[in-house]
Amino acid sequence: MSEVNFAEARRAMVTSQLRTSDVNDSAVVAAMLHLAREEFLPQNLRGGAYIDRPLPLGNGRAINPPLATGRILEEAQIVAGEKVLLAGDATGYTAALLDILGANVTVVDGNARPDTVPASVNWVQGKAGEGHAAGAPYDVIVIDGAVDALPDALLAQLAEGGRVVTGLNDRGVVRLVTGRKVADSIGFLRVIDMDMVPAAGFEAKAAEFSF
């Protein structure tokens, strides 16, 4: 696929996937239109960079469909300068988008830092579900996939008034949910059911969701 076709595929992704599914934040849309998603994928997967389904990366990992990434970022409501902990990022694509949005990004992932990740992103190799307490507190915690529940240790790293966005496995259905920390307690709001990959690195003892 030529570079021109990749650019056309990005525009089609914005038009047919994001715009039709309530991804309306102009900064998020502009970032996803600008960033070449194919460059974050292995060569053999680049032709499917903009299709609306997960792509398997091997070793039990996969990258979310573009729509899932867009909705996660839409709900995160990133403000430039905020400290964001990104728990899990198989390719570095979501980290690069958060960087474009102006966040101060720390990623925790079991993989080594990909070459495509911007130099301004702090990449910590480790278990995503444990977060990175040394950099806490964070204004926003973003989980790049779906979990059964959230580890207490991770939620403890969220600042008072801070936000968390993740997918929740709920009896076989993945729901995009958001939460806000108030008085050391976090309540969650269901946003939408959607296709999302499992988040890696979340085997720790976890807190239950409450709505």
Going residue by residue through the chain, which has 211 residues, state the pLDDT in tens, using 9 for 90 and above: 445 489 999 999 999 999 999 999 999 999 999 999 999 999 999 999 999 999 999 888 999 999 999 999 999 999 999 999 999 998 999 999 999 999 999 999 999 999 999 999 999 999 999 999 999 999 999 999 999 989 999 999 999 999 999 999 988 899 999 999 998 889 899 999 999 999 999 875 565 666 6
Going through the chain in order, the beta strands assigned E by DSSP cover 55-58, 61-63, 83-87, 104-109, 122-125, 138-147, 150-151, 158-170, 173-182, 185-193, 206-207
- Buried residues in 77-87 as b, exposed as e (16+ CB within 10 A): ebeeebbbbbb
This prediction's pTM: 0.94
90 and 144 Cβ atoms separated by less than 8 Å: yes
Q: Which are the contacts of 40, defined by CB distance < 8 A and separation ≥ 6?
A: 63, 91, 92, 93, 96, 114, 116
Predicted confidence at residue 205, as pLDDT, reads 53
Peptide bond into 137 cis (omega under 30): yes
Rounded CA separation 68/17 (Å) = 10
Structure-token pair, residue 49: 């960079």
Please give the helix or strand (H or E) that residue 6 lies within, else none: helix 3-13
Domain boundaries, the chain: 3-207
Strand partners, 182: 185
113 φ, ψ (degrees, to nearest 5): -60, 125
Please tell me the distance from the alpha carbon of residue 155 to that of residue 159, in angstroms, as a whole number. 9
Q: What CATH homologous superfamily does 3-207 map to?
A: Vaccinia Virus protein VP39 (3.40.50.150)
Instruction: Return phi, psi of residue 102, to 5°.
Output: 95, 10
